Amino acid sequence: MSKVNKVVLAYSGGLDTSIILKWLEDTYGCEVVTFTADLGQGEELEPARAKAQQMGVKQIYIEDLREEFVRDYVFPMFRANTIYEGEYLLGTSIARPLIAKRLVEIAEETGADAISHGATGKGNDQVRFELGAYALKPGVQVIAPWREWDLLSREKLMAYAKEHNIPVDFAKQGKKSPYSMDANLLHISYEGGILEDPWAEPEEDMWRWSVSPEAAPDSPTYIELTYEKGDIVAIDGERLKPHEVLEKLNKLGGANGIGRLDIVENRYVGMKSRGAYETPGGTIMLKAHRAIESITLDREVAHLKDELMPRYAELVYNGYWWSPERKLLQGLIDESQAVVNGKVRVKLYKGNVVPVGRVSDDTLFDENIATFEDDAGAYDQKDAEGFIKLNALRLRIAANKGRRLID
């Protein structure tokens, strides 16, 4: 065990990280600096400060990172229409590179020689935090208590807290959600509890941001989204900051039963994991962004983006945000967004997001050519004959050579 004088801990103020704080002090004999990020999780963060002070922490960082989170991480990811394994909108994954960045920055500011996090040895977050930290500060020491200690059950954690007089609200702990939850402006994730049985349906009272589609209003909600270079800059004509956009879309989507997801995903560490997610604003953003791209992007550019997206999604999911390949892909994606400007009108109704209108000064949709009415010679339909024959040439040659495609 190398000597650690000071460590920066990603600290929520909850049971696990409060125990980690004390464990770091006892195990490494070091000073602990706490860092708590406000990413829009909707919780009061001052109790984290009070707990850290009560435990004798001298340097406490509590930072509002909502604007940076949406502007520099969520929006760039959505320019790529990013989804992992066809469904997951990467709400937890995309928050980790920002936290990793601030951990190493605070380590530099405070002269700390190590950082620490509360991610377990079974999950993806340990990988995301540490890949990011090593990419940005190669010599940093990372302490992952869940990979070192023997406090591997809730009972052992509670006993440790009691033994060391760690300020945990035990009554509240007894009433807490049975799920392991992570929240930020993009989503809430739920794992554990009955979700560990992939046959069991989540209880209705688990969901926190959205009504069920069955309980959603019987009348649709229409909204108009304004895009500039692939990002939403206004809702119904009101210009908003990026985090304000996502906050408003979360409320609108949640009220209409939008954004619930129940999946079994493949973790980077090798196991399958069942999780439930609420991503109302992100679900709207994905559908609307594809709608504005449908009239503004060249066909081959759009198809190339779709081919690259799964690779980009894996990079985000697996923790490679701070990697040269992600940066390279981001440059290509962002270049494509120069023409993604205009407005999309969306209908929200009982869990559905339906784009019903698109308009842009950069549109490639030509009504004169696309019309089913008289196009006044804008398109010569006879040209299609040669196009079809040329594309059929290899098929005709193979058929003439007796290569059968029907058994």
Flag whether 30 is in a domain: yes
Same domain, 155 and 236: no
Flag whether 56 is in a domain: yes
- Residue 176: pLDDT band with limits 50, 70, 90: low
Flag whether 370 is in a domain: no
Q: Is 93 helix (H, G, I), strand (E, B) or coil?
A: helix
Same domain, 103 and 191: no
Paired sense of beta strands 352-359 and 342-349, if any: antiparallel
Cβ 286 vs Cβ 78: under 8 Å: yes
**360 CB neighbour count, 10 Å cutoff:** 18
pLDDT digits (tens, 9 = 90+) for 306-362: 999 999 999 999 999 999 999 999 999 999 999 999 999 999 999 999 999 999 999
Same domain, 143 and 247: no
pLDDT of res. 22: 94
Cβ 91 vs Cβ 277: under 8 Å: yes
Q: Where in the sequence is the domain holding 351, given as residue range(s)?
A: 183-297+340-359
178 pLDDT higher than 90: no
Flag whether 334 is in a domain: no
Same domain, 128 and 220: no
Catalogue the active-site residues. Answer: 16, 96, 125, 180
Same domain, 147 and 167: yes
What percent of the chain stands above pLDDT 70? 97
Same domain, 80 and 219: no
Measure Cα distances from 246 to 144, 282, 286, 309 in Å.
32, 8, 12, 22
Tokens of 165: 């007089």
Same domain, 139 and 277: no
Measure Cα distances from 142 to 18, 97, 103, 311 in Å.
18, 15, 11, 27
CATH number of the domain where residue 12 is located:
3.40.50.620
What percent of the chain stands above pLDDT 90? 86
pLDDT digits (tens, 9 = 90+) for 220-274: 999 999 999 999 999 999 999 999 999 999 999 999 999 999 999 999 999 999 9
pLDDT digits (tens, 9 = 90+) for 33-45: 999 999 999 888 8
pLDDT digits (tens, 9 = 90+) for 71-124: 999 999 999 999 999 999 999 999 999 999 999 999 999 999 999 999 999 999
Q: Which residues of 66-100 are buried (b: 16+ CB within 10 A; e: fewer)?
A: bebbbeebbbbbbbbbbbbeeebbbbbbbbbbbbb
Flag whether 108 is in a domain: yes
70 pLDDT higher than 90: yes
Flag whether 374 is in a domain: no
pTM of the model: 0.94
Q: Label residue 389 exposed, middle or buried (CB < 10 Å: 0-12, 13-18, 19+).
A: exposed
Same domain, 237 and 116: no
Flag whether 328 is in a domain: no
pLDDT of res. 174: 45
Flag whether 312 is in a domain: no
pLDDT of res. 207: 97
Same domain, 12 and 36: yes
Tokens of 11: 């600290």
Cβ 329 vs Cβ 308: under 8 Å: yes
CATH number of the domain where residue 281 is located:
3.90.1260.10
Same domain, 21 and 137: yes
